[in-house]
Chain A
Amino acid sequence: MVVNGNLLVTITSTVGDGLIMTNAADEVIINGDAVFTHANNNDQATSVGNFTNGVLKFRGHFTQSNGTNSGTRPIFTATCTKVVFDGANNQNVHFSDVGAAFSRFQDLDIDNTAGVTFTTSAVASGTVTILNGIVTSTTGTVTIGDDLIDAVGGRWQALNITFSGPIVSLPATLMTNATFTGGGLLENGFNLTGNLSVAAGGRMEVNSHTVSNSGTRPIFTSTGTKVILDGPGIQNVSFSDPGPGFSRIHDLDIENATGVTFNTDAYITRQLTLGANAVLNQGAGEHLFYGADAGGGGRDLQCGQYACPWYDYHDRGSGNATNFE
């Protein structure tokens, strides 16, 4: 089912009313904004049991609201339905009745290059996977019951996060204040920009990994400014804090016929263009990541005549890694 407008779901104290997604093949796409609420004075309203399977895709804002005269209620409670935010513009996520036993997501995918913003605390009792875009928040804490997956790293930038699961996989880098409240057996190490806490009754078991909070930062972050390398001599490029959520270049044109050398990983988040006489020299065997979204169907990597046989190019738009050797 595709809804090109907005979605409003109002439940009452009658169990089983509302939007029901309980089959694996259920798929609902909401292109507008979605609001889940309950009727006034229906203080037993619950959606527990309504979202047990299928995929629910939101492409606008998500709001869980409530009626009057009620305590905190599970008004939008996914217990197995996967929720995906895959809009084209920044999407806000707002919960009025958030809690592990109240309104919450289960598994949650973020697939929006324009980003997703939590405007309240939120709970995802399962795994949160970032496929595209940066996740931020304006207040509160996002609690994740299982893993946080971000293959690129650095794209989780919500203010505060709590990991409540017994076994936790995290991205290699993340920018947030992280708290562990569950079993916290780490499946991998991570580099955190932010504070790290282990709450009373919680654990963080390092489990043969490396954990640091050395603070990778967006020191040079071009989000729209085009960078052109067109010097007359060899130009070197080095990033100490590279990452799609950290230091990065939006559009990069290389016009230097003498040569440009990347000495570290570098992220070009939209388009890398090699001019007609551009020369790309061998660096330190590092990787060049480019092209989150070329836009308009254009190619992320635009090459004229180039000499770049040594780099691994990771096309983040397609997910392909290409080695031109």
Chain B
Amino acid sequence: MGGDLLVTIADNVGDGLIMTDPSDNVTIEGDATFSHSNNNDQATSVGNFTDGLLKFRGQFTQTNGTNSGTRPIFASTGTRVVFDGTNNQNIHFSDSGPSFSRFQNLDIDNSAGVTFTTSAVASGTLTILNGTVTSTTGTVTIGDDLVDAVGGRWQALNTTFSGASVSLPATLTTNTTFTGVGLLENGFDLTGDLSVAASGNMAVNSHTVSASGDLGVTISDAVGDGLIMTNASDEVIIHGNATFTHASNNDQATS
């Protein structure tokens, strides 16, 4: 039986919960809420979570005060966040974005599962140690690798990989979009649709990729974006329909 955490920040830079040392270690047994005061439209936690370990064992909610645009109210830039509760845990962001509220490295270690109830961003690596990860809406954006040694436990509705070099589980169930350089470190068997967004790459890099759903590749005027297959052992299997197009007004687009 543990208590809850409420952190409310204001426009003063550096207020709130501060974790900046490698040995910082905070465990919250109850629910955690990060918010900001009404009318404090410059509130930021950037710089507050640069190191250490922050464990949540209840629900996680990032909410906000009134009269403010999207703000980095919980913005981890180095603090590792772990969800290791014993009951299913929900993750909710009101101000999600790679420049706003976000995780950096994120571990899922809850055999009862973790559910994203909004879009979310983990700018670093997301590692599943135990449990299944699902979502009810939105997209989870991962800036680096998605690690699931067992495979098949990533079941969020939609996932965007924005990193330059990406490692994925052998199997995953999600609609996947690549928006970064997307050099694959391994192949994967996807249950869902596969997309490569304009200006994004997915370089197969001598691996095998299969998708149970559709493939959509949109290129732009940037040379070399899109689906990249340049090695003899590259193999891509699309069980659904495949669509290749280019972004509007990109009249120099070429694959």
Contact = CB atoms under 8 A, between A and B. Distances in A.
B28 interface: yes
A278 interface: no
A202 B18 contact: no
Contact of A200 (B8, B14, B20, B26): B8
A158 B9 CA distance: 25
Nearest to A180: B17
A213 interface: yes
Interface residues of B, number: 32
Nearest to A199: B8
Nearest to B58: A213
A195 to B, nearest CB: 4
Contacts of A202: 15-16
Given A200-B10, A206-B52, A209-B23, 8 more contacts: A194-B3, A195-B3, A201-B12, A203-B15, A206-B17, A206-B21, A211-B25, A214-B27
B38 to A, nearest CB: 9
Interface of B: 1-10, 12, 14-30, 36-37, 40, 52
Contacts of B26: 206, 210-212
Contacts of A205: 18, 20
Interface residues of A, number: 28
Contacts of B29: 212-215
Given A201-B10, A201-B15, A208 B27 contact: no
B5 A212 contact: no
A199 B40 CA distance: 13
A211 B28 CA distance: 8
A194 B29 CA distance: 10
Interface string A304-317: 00000000000000
A153 to B, nearest CB: 17
Contact of A206 (B1, B18, B30, B40): B18
A214 B10 CA distance: 28
B24 A209 contact: yes
Chain A's interface: helix, strand, loop or mixed, by majority?
A: loop
A201 B7 CA distance: 10
Contacts of A196: 3-6, 28
A66 interface: no
A210 B54 CA distance: 10
Contacts of B24: 206-209
Given A189-B25, A195-B30, A209-B25, A200 B3 contact: no
Contacts of B16: 198, 202-204
Contact of A213 (B22, B23, B30): B30
Contacts of A207: 18, 21, 24
Nearest to A207: B21
A201 B16 CA distance: 7
7 contacts: A196-B6, A203-B18, A204-B16, A206-B19, A207-B21, A208-B23, A214-B27
Contacts of A200: 8-10, 15, 36-37, 40
A217 interface: yes
B8 A198 contact: yes
A177 interface: yes
A213 B5 contact: yes
A25 to B, nearest CB: 43
B6 A210 contact: no
Contact of A177 (B3, B15, B22, B23): B3
A80 interface: no
B1 A198 contact: no
Contacts of A197: 5-8
